[in-house]
Amino acid sequence: AGPVVRLRDVRGARIRGSRAGAGTRMWLRVEGARSRDIGLNGNDFRQAERAYEADATVPGGVVSLSGGS
């Protein structure tokens, strides 16, 4: 199964107050060299194997996590 959310070449996104259900493999996948400034704030990813991953084209440090688990 794929990610719950997939973002491609997205700039300035904020995802707040989301929860990964039991058995979630990956919650978010970020793709594309134009992706920038993606924030995950106050989410509960404890049930996910991985909160997120970025493909090889995404610049480092694009995704920030804060205030969640």
The confidence score (pLDDT) of residue 3 equals: 96
CB contact at 8 A, 28 and 51? yes
| Inter-CA distances, 39 with 1, 5, 23, 65, Å | 23, 13, 23, 6
pTM: 0.90
Instruction: Indicate if the pLDDT at residue 1 is higher than 80.
Output: no
pLDDT in tens, 10-68: 999 999 999 999 999 999 999 999 999 999 999 999 999 999 999 999 999 999 999 87
Residues in the chain: 69
The pLDDT of residue 9 is above 90: yes
Q: What is the DSSP letter of 35?
A: -
